[in-house]
Amino acid sequence: MLLGTGKYGGRPMPKHMAIPELEDAHFMRWLRLFRETVTRLCAPEIAEIFIERSERIGNSFRMNIAMRRGNDITTMGPLKREPPAVWKPGNS
């Protein structure tokens, strides 16, 4: 889906709609983890392309979900980025 090859034939929206607890915080966490991963694995210019596309897809999904739930999406802005996790030895 992210690469735009047209090979992905799944229907991700029904799977996301089936999770009533799904909220912005979940999208923010997933996008943070995705950003961290592509930043580690890809060259910076490639990582930035993946990050931009993933954030666009994430925002599109959350707006679609909100609309299908009957929420007003006219005031929804883009998701804020969740700050990087700060792990320190000894923290669980």
Domain of residue 58 covers: 21-68
pLDDT string in tens for the chain (92-residue length): 566 667 777 888 888 888 888 999 999 999 999 999 999 999 999 999 999 999 999 999 999 999 999 999 999 988 888 888 777 666 65
In contact, 37 and 84? CB cutoff 8 Å: no
Distances (CA, A) of 36 to 39, 51, 60, 90: 5, 9, 21, 22
Q: What is the pLDDT of residue 92?
A: 58
Tokens 């950003």: give the residue. Answer: 35
- Whether residue 9 lies inside any domain: the answer is no
- Whether residue 46 lies inside any domain: the answer is yes
Q: Quick check: pTM over 0.85?
A: no
- Whether residue 92 lies inside any domain: the answer is no
**Number of structural domains in the chain:** 1
- Whether residue 84 lies inside any domain: the answer is no
